Structure 1
Amino acid sequence: MNTIRTAAIPVFIFSVLLRAQAASDFDWTKVTATKELNWTPCYSGLQCARLEVPLDYSAPDNRVAGIAIVKYSFKSPKSEYRGPILFNPGGPGVSGVDAIVASGEAFGTIFGEQYDIVGFDPRGIHYSTPAASFFKTDVDRAQWEHPGVDDTYPSLNSSYDVIPTQRARYQLLGTLAEIQDTKNILQHITTDNVARDMLSITEAFGFEKLQYWGVSYGTVLGATFASMFPDKVGRLIIDGVMDGEAWYSGNITNSMEDTDATLQTFFDRCAAAGPDACPFHAPTAAAIAANLMALSTSLIDTPIPVITNVSYGVFTYTYLRNVLFTGLYTPYTSFPLLAQGLAQLATGNATILYQMAEEIPYECPRGSQRDPVEFDQNDQEASIPTACGDGPVVTDTVAQLRESYEIGAKLSSFWDMFGNWRVRCSGWKVHRKGHFMGPMGASNTSFPLLVIGNTADPVTPLSSARRTSGYFPGSALLTYDAPGHTSLTAASSCLHNHMRQYFQNGTLPEAGTVCSPDEELFPSTSGNKTVKRSAQDLKLREALRQIHAAVQPMTLRHLPRLR
């Protein structure tokens, strides 16, 4: 038995079904990696290929990797064709192929029909080969993911022995990965090599300079590319920015500078919206926060059993924290549902909140050996080789990990959700000497970058966008006055018209430009706030919703789930 993890009900279950449909619609095992792009029809109206690239760019004549690529082809006349735009949805370890399969046409709506919209699976991930694997069989993987009810992803502050236990657990995982890595693949699954792969993809299309949109971890990838290949930047948007210097140093504590501020927007907007729009309403934001704290505390002593139509379980304090934290990524879809769930929880019923992070069971074959061309990975296999292999070797003792936790906990009350990153890397043993670790930045990019940051992003604060813009003189910083993770949090005709103009005309927003979302966190039920929008704006808004529905669930799959 294994599980598919989900979060907010309608969007996320839809996305899981989309991915399952995509996986059944095309057989990647029949696609051979070639030095040129040999396209074959795939999915519904798309084109797929595998590009052969060096596994080790310092020894290009030796072993190779096959990068899985999908494109939504340009629709304009051939004379207007402007090349590929590559998209990376974050992670590390999220499938760019799945993102374009689910929403390629929507990307074309945003950027224009003169471009091929291209998704790719970074080396080692999903449909790219060779795949990163720490386990021999799916049963081995299931045993790792589900050793017990509370053992998989416990809150780091749930008990005194959690940090030493988790450290030992990831020492074990690091050893398993090292044993399974008989062909020395894992050391090559690093961000700098993925940046080189993006240049290889661009050149395979017949172009010299990269056109790119990267969100979340995809901003580290984009900034790394611009730092390594400043003369190869055609257009490059980084959106929801992680500080690359912090990433490569192995210290991402500053990622949570705005996490609690994102939750505060729930309190503030709920109080302002009124009880009809926000069922968890109270007269003041402070009162709503206090009510949430009281409900959270009550779950410590009185967890609530839940049975749904697909599963059952116990709704606990840590489960609630998981729901709250993941909800901060997607507030425009999650906050209204969260308000309903909290109001229901106040009556002793946790069904809605339980379903917001429910695990949907499915069967998997027992005992089958790993097929090297199968692409089922767990989230650890997809993310750890890059997340830990990019930075320095982490040899922290339990005492040092506890000290690191205390530092992060002072920054955000949600650090127990995010601090496991360093614990995970304390067991990682595979590092390649000489890989890129900075410095970030370049004063001479062939075209200025467009850097986008939200005012209340739970894991990529606006300060990181400002710092990163400073690494690249001449770049433009576009501020999005919205809570949530990346510009995909909500449609904004202002922001996405700036993105379109950047790609179409090379136009950068003026210094100090701030855009607002076209949506409300808690839409009015009165109908008196209807805003007339052009047909183009409505089309753009629907396209952004499609991309959001496809990409954000994939990103959330790579978050640890507390139990």
Structure 2
Amino acid sequence: MLSLSGAVLISALLLSPVTAAQAPFRWDNLVPSQNLAWVECYATFQCTRLEVPLDYSDPSIGTAVLAIVRLPANVSSAEYRGPILFNPGGPGGSAVDTVVNLGSSIQLIAGSQYDIVGFDPRGVSYSTPVASFFATDAERALWNAGSVPTSLNASSDALPHAWARARLLGTLAAQRDSGILRYMTTDNVARDMLRITQKFGEEKLQYYGISYGSILGATFAALFPDKVGRILIDGVLDADAWFNANLTIEATDTDKVLQTFFDGCAAAGPDLCAFYASTPAAIAERLAALTAAVRATPVPAVTPAGYGLVDYSFLRSALFSALYVPYQLFAPLAHGLAALEAGDGAPLFGLIQAAQPPPFTCAGSANPVPFHLNNGEAVVAIQCGDAVEVNDTLPELREFYAEAARTSEFVEFLVGSNRVSCAGWQVYREGRFTGPVAAKNTSFPLLLLTTSADPVAPKAAALKTLAGFPGSAIFTQDSPGHTSLTAPSLCTVGYFRAYFQNGTLPPPGTVCPVDVQLFGGPSSSNATKRTEEEGDTAVLTALKTIADVVLPIITRRGL
């Protein structure tokens, strides 16, 4: 979720990310249709390309074509309950690739009565026309190389430099627009979801959205409150803040997650946490000293995955990245910090670079699949095209950033750079929806899921969203990290399934424990016993599959 200054991909920090579907299915060989003309694809899936209006208020302007994939339900027609549409966040993540990788896992949890459906939003990935600001892959790589990674606190000219680059990018986007950019807004994607639902022969949307997908789900409910079937959103963002280009509220719990690193490391001990000290305060002091040392003297790093400098920006970016996925990254982060303290930057640098494409190379023309990995461009186009026009002068932006910094020490990668990335955007659609994201009555209650400490989607944002949809429900997973997917919880899965199977809402105040501990310690729950007694091994495996696929998307930072 969230477009930030620089092209660092937090997903690269994940140790074993699942790549996009390996089978080279050629979407450009499918003839677009105004109906769901399914063909077999990806072994067990079905694919289609659906034409939709670029502008629903004026269909004469032209059409976009949506790439849609489904894992069909595995029940009789009498038991069939329609599609569940899925959005993996980003914005700009390919739901097609995602569902091909994890559709069976979602179906296992939600129920085999449902089709699991992924569609690439207009302008994104396999959907056409594709949003692109760059003429070649090499040009895109050169731009990204100039952006990775940059902390707005790194130097006195970091903010002006980021502001100027955003204005440059906005000019490139406007000049090279294929005609899709002004129509990529979230309200149009919500209208596309209704169109897809209706093409299935259904009246109401069933939907599962994560991170930015929460904004999409809430926007749909605001626009079409009478078309809500089941909408489950996880990692709930403040949609009104999104549309107002002021995400300060999203930083509410960021520092709280960092504190869980200090607390968890002290509790885990030196065998499990390499950056251990006897108290959380001592670990915090140790990290502050290391940060100051690296700011003064960057550390070179050479690894099999590439080489570079571990400087202040790199270290700060790695820290912020780990806050998204504490259960996956806190232990290797601690190891990297301890090595860096000893003068060795390779472990921390390698942790980031291991999952990146080979450095200093271009893919060339050997790839049989047409260009579709435009998540960087898409995240900027959607976020900035959604928001109110940002016309901040540099002094105004400095004032905005200084005020936002009161909320979190990591505002350099969240609020400030979010505002910065839209400072030069020029392509807007008149009459686009910008809120308020609320509805007095929806035809079925929404279900909101939050964690106890989310670095970019705090519970405060979820509660604000809840207030906009009376009668809906919220429950909390007791874990740090962005969305519930960062830690397995059979309790959470139980409420997820009950909602889609029976429409059951959790009781007020419900808090679910997780079945894992930070730094790899033994779980304090009875997950293992429950697994043996209730046969939940498959569910835990499904959760891991979903996490491995989705976390790289929701933790990706774009251009």
TM-score range, shorter chain: over 0.9
The 2-side partners of 1:110 and 1:166 are apart by 43
Code of the aligned partner of 2:539: L
Q: Does 1:164 align with 2:160?
A: yes
The aligned residue for residue 514 of structure 2 is: 517
Which residue is equivalent to 1:207?
202
Q: Which amino acid aligns with 2:542?
A: A
Hey, what's the Cα distance between the residues in 1 that align with 2:513 and 2:337? Answer: 27
- Partner of residue 464, structure 1: 461
TM-score after normalising by structure 2: 0.93
Structure 1 Cα separation of the partners of residues 138 and 345 of structure 2: 32
Where 1:78 maps in the other structure, the secondary structure is coil
What per-residue deviation string (whole Å, max 9, x for no partner) do you get for residues 469-521 of structure 1? 11000000111111000111111111111010000000000111111111111
- State which drifts further: 169-178 or 393-402: 169-178
CA contact (8 A) 1:125 1:382 kept: yes
For the pair 1:451 / 2:438, whether they are aligned, the reply is no
Q: Do the aligned residues in 2 keep the contact of 1:277 with 1:525 (CA within 8 Å)?
A: no
Q: Give 1:483's match in structure 2, choosing from 454, 459, 480.
A: 480
Unaligned runs of 5+ in 1: none
Task: Indicate the residue corresponding to 2:218 in structure 1.
Answer: 223
**CA–CA distance in structure 2, aligned partners of residues 528 and 246 of structure 1:** 36
Determine whether 1:232 maps to 2:237.
no
Matches within 5 A, 1:20-31: 22=21, 24-31=23-30
CA distance in 1, matches of 2:413, 2:76: 49
Distance 1:28 1:446 in 2: 36
Which has the higher relative contact order, 1 or 2, with Cα contacts under 8 A spaced 6 or more apart?
A: 2
The aligned residue for residue 352 of structure 1 is 347
Are the counterparts in 1 of residues 11 and 553 from structure 2 also a CA contact under 8 Å? Answer: no
* Deviation (angstroms), 1:4: 8.1
Cα 1:556–1:9 change in 2 (3 A) is closer
Aligned 1:159-558 pairs, distance under 5 A: 159-181=155-177, 183-358=178-353, 359-361=356-358, 363-364=361-362, 374-418=370-414, 419-524=416-521, 531-534=528-531, 535-558=534-557
What's the CA shift for 1:347?
Answer: 2.4
Contact 2:149 2:313 in 1 (8 A): no
Check whether the contact 2:72–2:114 (CA below 8 A) recurs between aligned residues: yes
Alignment partners' CA distance in 2, 1:5 and 1:491:
20
1:143/1:131 CA distance change after superposition, 3 Å? same
Q: CA separation in 2, counterparts of 1:412 and 1:380?
A: 25
Separation in 1, partners of 2:149, 2:341: 26
- Corresponding residue SS for 1:80: coil
Paired residues of 2:379 and 2:558 also in contact (CA < 8 A):
no
Against the structure 1 CA distance between its residues 305 and 379, is the aligned structure 2 distance closer, same or farther, given a 3 Å change threshold?
same
Quote the Cα distance in structure 2 between the aligned partners of 1:526 and 1:170: 45
- TM-superposed CA distance for 1:133, in Å, is 1.3
d(CA) in 2 for partners of 1:413, 1:504: 42
**Distance verdict in 2 for CA 1:365–1:509, change over 3 Å:** closer
Cα RMSD between the aligned structures? Answer: 2.2
Is 2:52 the partner of 1:57? no
Distance 1:530 1:111 in 2: 20
**Could you say if the C-alpha distance between residues 530 and 460 of structure 1 is closer, same or farther in structure 2, counting changes exceeding 3 Å?**
closer
Deviation at 1:425, TM superposition (A): 0.6
Q: Name 2:115's counterpart in structure 1.
A: 116
| 8 Å contact kept, 1:3–1:361 | no
2: CA distance, partners of 1:443 / 1:71: 32
- Report the AA paired with residue 468 of structure 1: T
Please, which moves more after superposition, 348-357 or 479-488? 348-357
Q: CA deviation at 1:172?
A: 1.3
Rounded to whole Å, the distance in 1 between the matches of 2:43 and 2:403 is: 49
Which residues of structure 2 form unaligned runs of 5+? 1-6
Determine the C-alpha separation between the residues in 2 that align with 1:344 and 1:402.
35
Per the alignment, residue 15 of structure 2 pairs with 10
- 3-state SS of the aligned residue for 2:78? helix
1:141/1:378 contact within 8 Å kept: no
- 3-state DSSP class of the match of 2:434? coil
Q: Which residue identity lines up with residue 89 of structure 2 in the other structure? A: G
Q: CA deviation at 1:6?
A: 4.9
Q: 1:559 Cα shift?
A: 4.8
